[in-house]
Homo-oligomer: A and B are copies of this chain.
Amino acid sequence: MLPKTASFSFELESYLCDFNGRATLPLIGTFILQAATNHAQKRGFGFDSMSASGMAWVLSRLSIEMTEYPEHNSCIRVETWVEAVANYFTRRCFRIINSNEITLGHALSIWAAIDLNTRQPVDIPTACPELKDYVETDKSCPISSIARIPPLKEANPADAYIVRYSDIDINRHMNSIKYIEHVLNLFDIEMFNQNQIRKFDINYLAEGIFGDKIELYMQPPAGTSEYLVDSRKGADSVCRSRIIWQTIDPQAIRSASSQQQ
């Protein structure tokens, strides 16, 4: 049996980074999903074995919390493990680590498994009995839960987009990370110049498919740095997200970089 926890390395190519020369949150999200895919695939409960049984994993909630974003041309490791398996959900944790073994952030994800014909959730311990052997009990994740994000009361959408070819993935629905890209596109470049995302939570509620018009409703912060965004198809939410910003402290960035040298 392979170890319960595994880690995967990723190189941060310059041109994959944002205008500040650091990894974007969607890029961190991509690496996280890549680590989850590889971890599950190698342990016999990945995309291929699930497809062969007529099932698929569906990401239900994701929370990413970063104290520092990795710099371009650096290498990071994403450590991942299964934290819990219940009847209809499984929880998977992640730790993002730089090449000096400094922890840059954590993530927590909640997954359901669906039957590809009925699109209904399946009982995970029955559908995927090998999963319970990989539950890691010796590790803990500082993100203990991902709250339900409430519906917003805003009347007018801040923006809208149509789901296109580049948004759709192998499951024939909108890619989980693309929702995040569209949400972040609501913010002005000045926001990214002076702030970084400390915490990003997303609840996935329905599937976006090719041609759907998704309207983005944003609740302005009431004296806080916390924004809520509801991505809606007509009257229904396809996902809801919470973005918590923090001011970039140039001193902190400098001291973190010198630590890394």
What residues on B are CB-neighbors of A24 within 8 Å? Answer: 165-166
Give the copy number.
2
Any B CB within 8 A of the CB of A143 = no
What residues on B are CB-neighbors of A168 within 8 Å? Answer: 18-19, 189
Any B CB within 8 A of the CB of A154 = no
Within 8 A of B (CB), among A72-111: 72-73
> Interface size for chain A: under 10, 10 to 19, 20 to 34, or 35 or more residues?
35 or more
What residues on B are CB-neighbors of A14 within 8 Å? Answer: 37, 47-48, 170
Q: How far is the CA of A48 from the CA of B14 in the complex (A)?
A: 9
Q: A174 → chain B, closest Cβ, in Å?
A: 11
Contact B13 A37 (CB under 8 A): yes
Question: Which of A21, A34, A47, A164 has the most CB atoms of chain B within a 10 A radius of its CB?
Answer: A164
What residues on B are CB-neighbors of A182 within 8 Å? Answer: 166
Any B CB within 8 A of the CB of A26 = yes
What residues on B are CB-neighbors of A41 within 8 Å? Answer: 73
